[in-house]
């Protein structure tokens, strides 16, 4: 089991953490939403929860709740700049399909939202 960061993603997350002392690292998981069923939930972690799995890569701790782990295990997080914008990109080997807008995804064996 692992979550990994590119150098660019680690640098961007580190800059957020430097501006917000007391935060422990990155909280990464999923939430139900969108037309495909799941969307990434990303925030800075204030605390370690009892059911968290904690990964560390490039000096950044990544907190993943037990319920999200099967959906994000193996994900590589990158940070890219395109033109005037920038955003995080998730290379997740568990994704079987995503919606047209790219905001949500589904995994093999999971029912599509609303079709369960």
Mean predicted confidence (pLDDT) in 7-29: 97
69-83 pLDDT, tens digit per residue, is 999 999 999 999 999
Q: Give residue for tokens 């917000």.
A: 20
Q: What is the pLDDT of residue 108?
A: 76
What is the rounded CA–CA span in Å between residue 70 and residue 30? Answer: 10
Query: What fold, for 4-107?
Result: Hypothetical Protein Aq_1857; Chain: A; (2.60.300)
What is the rounded CA–CA span in Å between residue 80 and residue 21? Answer: 25
Residue length, the chain?
A: 116
Query: Sorting pLDDT into bands at 50, 70 and 90, what band is 105?
Result: confident
25-82 pLDDT, tens digit per residue, is 999 999 988 676 899 999 999 999 999 999 999 999 999 999 999 999 999 999 999 9
Decide if pLDDT at 115 tops 70: no
């Amino acid at each position: 089991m692992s979550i990994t960061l590119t150098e660019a993603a680690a640098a961007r997350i580190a800059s957020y953490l430097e501006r917000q002392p007391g935060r422990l690292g990155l909280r990464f998981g999923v939430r139900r939403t969108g037309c495909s069923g799941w969307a990434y939930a990303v925030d800075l972690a204030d605390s370690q929860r009892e059911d968290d799995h904690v990964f560390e890569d490039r000096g950044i701790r990544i907190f993943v709740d037990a319920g999200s782990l099967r959906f994000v295990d193996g994900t590589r997080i990158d940070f890219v700049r395109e033109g005037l914008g920038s955003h995080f990109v998730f290379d997740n080997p568990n994704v079987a399909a995503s919606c047209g807008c790219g905001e949500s995804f589904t995994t093999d064996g999971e029912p599509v939202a609303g079709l369960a």
